[in-house]
Chain A
C-alpha cells in the first residue's frame, strides 16, 4: 500500500481569513491524523471567512470527504463563509451528495434511561408473562399428549427414536460417571463418622435410600437439563430464527405436534431408563467404599435389599417422569419463544437451563411433601 501521507497547514491572514491547506493522500488511514488539527484550527480562529485549499490533494476517499463535510457543517452552524477551492471534479460530486446540515446532531439515541420503579415494574411483568406463557404451553403440550395417546399415528416415531438416541442414550456415560462418583463420595464421607460408632455397615442403608429416592432422579434430571434442555432450546430457537417454524405453520403443520411432541415423548421414555442406570451406578460407587473397609459384597447387597424396597425405587422413577416432562417441555417452550437475532438463541438456551433446574428442584420439593403425607 502506498504510505499514506497527508499534511495540514493553517494560516490566519491580517484581515481574519483562515486558510486551511490540505495536501497529499486524504484516505481512511491518514485522515485521522489531521482531523483534530482542522477542528482545532476552526475553533481557535473562529474566523468569519474560511478558505480550504484542496488543490494539493492527490487522492481523497470517503473518509476524506467526511472531513470536508465536517468543515462545512461547522461553518454552516456558525454562519461563517466557507470556500473549498481546487477540489477535483470527481470529489466535488461526492461532496455535493451530502447535505452537511443533515448530519447536524450525531446519532440519535433510541433507548432512553428508565427509572428504578419502571424497571422493577417491567421485570415483574416479564416474570408474570413468563409464567403465564409457560402454563399456556404446558396446556398445549398436555392436549397434544392426550391426542397422541388416543391416536399414536400423529407422532413422528422415527424422529422420536432419533431424539431418544441423541438426547437419551448418549447421555448414559455422563450420568453414570456422575452417579458413581456421588455414590462413592457420599459413602466415604458418611463412613468416617459412622465408623466411630461401629455403624459403618449402615452406610449401605444411607446410599440405597438416598440414591433411589433422591439423588438418582435428581442428578439425572439436572444433567439432562444442562445437556438436553439446552439442546432442544438451541435447536428450536435456530429454527425459529431461520423462519423454519413459520414455514411449518404455513404448511399447516402444528409446531407443537411436529417438533415438541417427539422431543417430549422421547425424553419421557428415556428419563426413567437413565435414572435406573444412575441408581445402579450410585450404589456401585457406595460399594467401593464398603469393600475397601473389608465388608464382602454379599453383606452390602443384603443390607440394601433390607433397607430399600420397590416403593422407594418406583417413587423415584415416577419423579423422574415428571422431571422428564419439565426438561423437554421447558427446553422446547423457550426454543419456540426465541426472538429474532443471533443472541436470541443464546438467551433462550440460558433461560431453558436456568428455569429448568429451578422447576426441577421445586417439583422435587413438592414430591417430598406429597410422599411424606402418603407415608412413602
Chain B
C-alpha cells in the first residue's frame, strides 16, 4: 500500500483543559490513512477528552487539529459540514436517540445527507445492522437493548454514511469475548477493504494485538503520551518499564 505514508489527522501541540484543570498537556501525533490507531491509558486520563477534541466538539486551550489538512476547530458552515461528513463517531455512552427505534437511529443520517430513495435507505440500514450483528433488532428501542448491543448499534449509526474516519470510544467494553472478536474482524475488514481509518479507545489487550497498527498511551500524571508505536514493539522494546509490563499483562491494576 503506498497510502501508508499519507497522513489524515494531524494533532499539533494540543493542550486541553477543563476550566483551569489541564487534562492533556502539549501533545502531538499523526494518524495515517487506513491505519487502526489505538488510544490507551488509565481511566480518567483523558482518552475520551482527546477523542472529543479530535472531532472538533470543543476548542482546545492551545494547538491545532487538522483532518485531511483542514482545521476542524476553526472551520465553519459548509466547510465544517464537509469535514464532519468524513468522520463518524461512537460515543462512550452510545448516545443513541432514546425516542427512536434502532432502525430510525441508523437511518437518520441517510435521510438527512443522501439522495437515496426510501427502499435503498432501508437496504443500507439493514446491511449496516447485519455488519454489526444486529439484524432482527430493527424495531427495538435503544432502552430495550443490552449495553453491548447499544454500542454496536452506535457503530452502525456512525458508519452508515461510510465516513473515511471512524472514532470509537471503548467499543468492546461490555462485549463478550466472541462478539468482541467479531467486532475486531469487522474493524480489520473495513480498514483493509475500504481503507477506513480507525481511532479507537480500548483496553482489550487481545483486541489491541489483533487490530492495532499503532498505539499511543496517555499517562494521567504527566498528561502526555508515554508510549507510541506498534503494540508488539512496545511490549518488547519500550524503555518504559510500566508500558512493557502493561503489554505483557503484568500490570493491570491501573487500567479500567
Contact = CB atoms under 8 A, between A and B. Distances in A.
B82 interface: yes
Interface in B78-122: 82, 85-86, 97-99, 103, 110, 113-117, 119-120, 122
A32 B116 contact: yes
Interface string B131-143: 1000100110111
Given A69-B123, A93-B189, A342 B99 contact: yes
B181 interface: no
Interface string A60-99: 0111011101100100000000000000001101100110
Given A62-B159, A342-B98, A108 B123 contact: no
A103 B123 contact: yes
Nearest to B119: A106
Nearest to B109: A28
- Using C-beta atoms within 8 Å of the partner chain, give the interface range for chain A: 35 or more
A110 B139 contact: yes
Nearest to A110: B139
A66 B98 contact: no
A70 B159 contact: no
A341 B162 contact: no
A35 B120 contact: yes
Contacts of A67: 120
A28 B107 CA distance: 13
A73 to B, nearest CB: 8
B249 interface: no
Interface string A334-356: 00000111111000000000000
Interface residues of B, number: 39
B211 interface: no
B127 A28 contact: no
Interface string A200-223: 000000000000000000000000
B114 A62 contact: no
Contact of B139 (A108, A342, A343): A108
Interface in B152-195: 159-162, 189, 192-194
A62 B116 contact: no
B237 interface: no
Interface string A213-245: 000000000000000000000000000010000
A63 B131 contact: no
B127 A1 contact: no
A36 interface: yes
Contacts of A97: 130-131, 189
Contacts of B103: 107
A29 B139 CA distance: 27
Contact of B189 (A61, A94, A342): A94
Nearest to A73: B123
A103 B138 contact: no
B124 interface: yes
B14 interface: no
10 contacts: A32-B115, A35-B116, A62-B162, A62-B194, A63-B161, A94-B193, A103-B127, A106-B126, A108-B138, A342-B98
Closest 6 CB pairs of A and B: A342-B98, A340-B143, A32-B115, A61-B162, A90-B193, A110-B139
